[in-house]
Each structure stands twice: as structure tokens, then as C-alpha cells.
Structure 1
Amino acid sequence: MKNEKLRLETCLSPALYSKHAHDDNIVVVVDILRATSSICTALHNGVKRIIPVSTVEEARIKKEEGFIVASERDGYVLDFADFGNSPFNFTADKVCGKEIVYSTTNGTRCIHMASHSKAVVIGSFLNLTALANWLIKQDAPVLIFCASWKDRFSLEDTVFAGALAERLLQSGKFETICDAVTASLDLWSLAQIDLNAYIQKAAQKGRLAAKGLDDCIEFCHQPDFTEVIPLFSDGELIAVS
């Protein structure tokens, strides 16, 4: 008997998540600028674990409990936080061996939204190949979940979704009848010619530039900086391979 292929879908916004939610999914949460790029960088640089929380109130309580807190809203570091949401904050000298509480505008709430799933992992260009290879080895359907920006379509997240979908479909293990996957593949086909030039169009690039926070744009689109795969387990993100 011919083996059935695995389902591949992309969710372009948290506002659409309920339409894609299945308990048997492996969900790849994507927030390229900047949460998931920062998470991959932090674990690559030796963070012991990351505790993602959805709200400012939760982050504040964790700070009062003595945790190191990385937290922002709309790009601005919260007044009680130790640092914000740039991957450049998570250098080995600052974070190696540490436990960090993490809360951002878009990305961390998506992790909790998807926590009912078979597994939740973190995706970025920084771990693209390692992540694709790991997903291909798992025997489960995949949902690429774009964190977007305040429920609005995000160009950089969707371009990454196309890059990852291309790898998964080329493996022969997956199939799709999802228009969001098709659209992301088309965007990736345009963007990959010169990814850094293409991503200058992204609204989030402009938002970050207006606050002087766009120094990490090129880094966040660097493929295969790390082989770390952050997995959400028991309320925390840990590195698996």
C-alpha cells in the first residue's frame, strides 16, 4: 500500500489559528523580526531554558520572583525588564547557563495558543535546515504558524514559511492543499533571489527602523546560523536536535 503523505499547512495570522488547529500537528511558530530569531540565538548561546509568557503582568511577576526577564511591547523594552527582544541581547557572556523569562508583542502568545498540539517548535532562518530535517524525521502533519504583527499579515514571516514549506514538500513526505502554503512558496520564489533586499519592503522593517532597532534585520535573515531546535515542553523552551 502506498504511504499517505503528511498534511502541510500555513496559518498567516493568529486571527486564523482556530481554522488550522489540530491536536496532531507539529506547530512551527515563526516570528522572524524578532522573537523566534532571538529564541534560536539565545539557546544557541547556551541559555538553559526560556520561559515564554504571554502578558506583561506575567513577566512582571516573574521578575519579582527573581528571574532574568527579556520583554518588550511594540519594540520598547519594558521598564522592569533586563533587556529587550533583539537577538544581539542574547550574547553568550550574558545568557549562557541562565534561565530567562521571555515576553513579546506577538511571538510568545502564539506559542501558548498552539500548546495543545503534538509539539510546538520555533522556526527562523537561523535554524532553517536543521528544523526542516527534524520535521521530516517526525511522523506528523506540520502547521507553519506566522505570528504576524497584531494579527495582521507579515511579509517576513510568510517568506520564511515559503522557505520551510519548499524543503518539506521537496522531501516527498508532505502534501498540501492550502492556499497559504502556495502563496508563501510564491513569495519565497521572489524573495530568495536577494532576501535582504526583498525584506526591505516589510512593514516591520520600517517599524523597527523608526525606533533605531533595525540593526539585526540582516542577521535575522541569515540561513543556518545554528542547528538548535527550540522545543516547547512543560511550559519552557529547551534545545533539542
Structure 2
Amino acid sequence: MTNLPSLEVCLSPALLHLYDTKDTVVVIIDVFRATSTIAAALDNGARCVVPVASVEECISLKDKLDNCITAGERDGKVAPGLQYGNSPLEYPTSFIQHKTLALTTTNGTKLLHMVSDADSIITGSFLNMDAVCAYLIRQNKKVLLACSAWKDRVNIEDSLFAGAVAEKIKEHFTMECDSARMARELYLQSQQYPSILEFVKDSNHYRRLSGFGLQKDLQYCTTPNLHPVVPIYNGKELVVAS
């Protein structure tokens, strides 16, 4: 058991500085909705997704990158100046195939840019859960499941996904991190509900986004394994891991 790599969970970007990400596979998690949108866009044929920290930088990429769509949100709404939003349902194959998606979001793309020295950075969501789990087992390296949270405040859906991954791959890793244990317990508790969606319906983030009429997004984002790809960050863009 002692030869197994470790798995830790960071519940908020505000806690990231407490974790050593060197020689680590970091999984960026933003279930509602950035990492769900990234998985959907890439599985539906996008050439790549360029994660951008600011709205201004995202807008500027429209004329700099070939066949580029600018998209994203602030506080759950499409940010002024961007062409499209942060919904996985906006990017079917008929629209996104062979295009570059420049994406900026309130939480997910921010956290991705905060990680500087990892062995590799991938993105995870319920939409690509099993693909992420299989990838982490194959890599056989230390793992940090990093939750984007909501403006640094811990949220249920990202913690729940981290717990699902931790539970599914627990035999391949050591987990001495209390956050990982808490996330696993949350996931096990959720199994008493009819669906992931039912479990998260009382969460702040669900109520906030459903107030914008995004219930279809939320249902889609909590559906496991619709997009079995592993988006990996090469320092510039997210592409499908080989």
C-alpha cells in the first residue's frame, strides 16, 4: 500500500497554496459549468479550447486565432463582448467541429491558470468521469483533485465530483487527506438519491443558475459519461489527451 501514489482534494482555489503540485496530475473541476463545456466541446470536435483568465483577453483572441469562437460568463451570464456562453449545450458537433473555443469563466479558467508546476493538468466533470478515472489510474502518479468552487467558497457539485473520483479509484491511491475523505463521504451520501441532480438541487450554485433558466444545463452537467474524453492542458490550450 505504501508504494501507491497519493490522492488529495483541494476544495477551493483559496486553499491551493497549501498543496504541492510538483510531479502531480492536477484535475481542474468546475461542474457548473466550465469543465463540462470543455469536455462537450472537445468531444464534439472542437480543435482545441483556449482557457483565458479575462474577458478582455478572450475578446482579443477572436481576430488572433483561426476560426475562433469567443465564449464565457461572469456570475453565470454571458459576459458582454463575447459571442457565446458557458453552456455545454451550445456546442454540438454541427457548430463546434474544427473550431477553436476561447473560453473565460468566473471560476474554472481562473483556477487552471493558478496551477504552475504540475506534471500535467486535465479537466474533469461528470460528463467525462470514467475517462478521467481511467486516465489517473494509467498515469500512476500523485493526484490533486482541485475544485473551482464559487468565488473561493466551497460548493457541493465540485466537491461531489471529487468524491466520486476518489471513491472510484481508491484502490489505486493512498488517501490520507481529510478533504478527500470528506468528499468521498459526500459522494456516498449522494448515492441514496435518485440522481446527482436531485442531490445538488438545494445548493447555492444550482439555485443561482436555475434562476437564470439554466435547468437544462444543470441536468446535462450532472449526467455521467456523455463525453468520454480527457482534456489536457499543454500550457496554451486544452486538447484531447491521446
The secondary structure found in structure 1 opposite 2:122 is strand
1:238 matched to which residue of 2?
239
Q: Which residue of 2 aligns with 1:6?
A: 5
Amino acid at match of 1:205: Y
Tell me the SS of whatever aligns to 2:150. Answer: coil
Q: 1:126-165 alignment to 2 at 5 Å?
A: 126-165=127-166
Decide which moves more: 28-37 or 77-86: 77-86
2:2/2:174 contact within 8 Å kept: no
In the alignment, structure 1 segments of 5+ residues that lack a partner are none
Q: Deviations over 1:187-228 (max 9, x none)?
A: 101112322211102111100011112221111111111220
2:6 is paired with a residue whose SS is: strand
The alpha carbon displacement at 1:64 in A equals 4.5
Check the 8 A contact 2:21/2:115 in 1, yes or no. no
Say whether the 8 Å CA contact 1:63–1:81 is kept in structure 2.
Answer: no
Distance 2:115 2:228 in 1: 23
Partner of 1:228: 229
Which whole-Å CA distance do the structure 2 matches of 1:148 and 1:157 have between them? 6
Give the SS at the match of 2:213. coil
Give the deviation of 1:111 after TM superposition.
1.1
Q: TM-score, normalised by structure 2?
A: 0.94
- Alpha-carbon distance in 2 for matches of 1:123, 1:22: 17
TM-score by length of 1: 0.95
How many residue pairs get aligned? The number is 238
Please give the root-mean-square deviation of Cα atoms over the aligned residues, in Å.
Answer: 1.3
Partner amino acid, structure 1, of 2:150: W
Unmatched 5+ stretches in structure 2? none
Q: Per-residue displacement from partner, 1:67-104 (whole Å, max 9, x unpaired)?
A: 31011101111222110001111111110010111100
CA contact (8 A) 1:63 1:80 kept: no
Distance 1:22 1:46 in 2: 30
Output the CA distance in 2 between the equivalents of 1:32 and 1:100: 18
Q: What CA distance in whole angstroms lies between the structure 1 residues aligned with 2:172 and 2:190?
A: 25
Superposition misfits of 4+ residues, deviation over 2 angstroms: 63-67
Corresponding residue for residue 217 of structure 2:
216
Q: In structure 2, what is the Cα distance between the partners aligned to 1:62 and 1:235?
A: 13
Contact 1:70–1:85, Cα closer than 8 Å, also in 2: yes
- Report deviation, 1:3: 6.1
Question: 1:113: which partner in 2?
Answer: 114
Does the Cα contact within 8 Å between 1:43 and 1:238 map onto a contact in 2? yes
Once the two structures are superposed, residues 15-73 of structure 1 have per-residue CA deviations (whole angstroms, 9 ceiling, x without a partner) of 00010132111000000001101100000100000110111221122135363101110
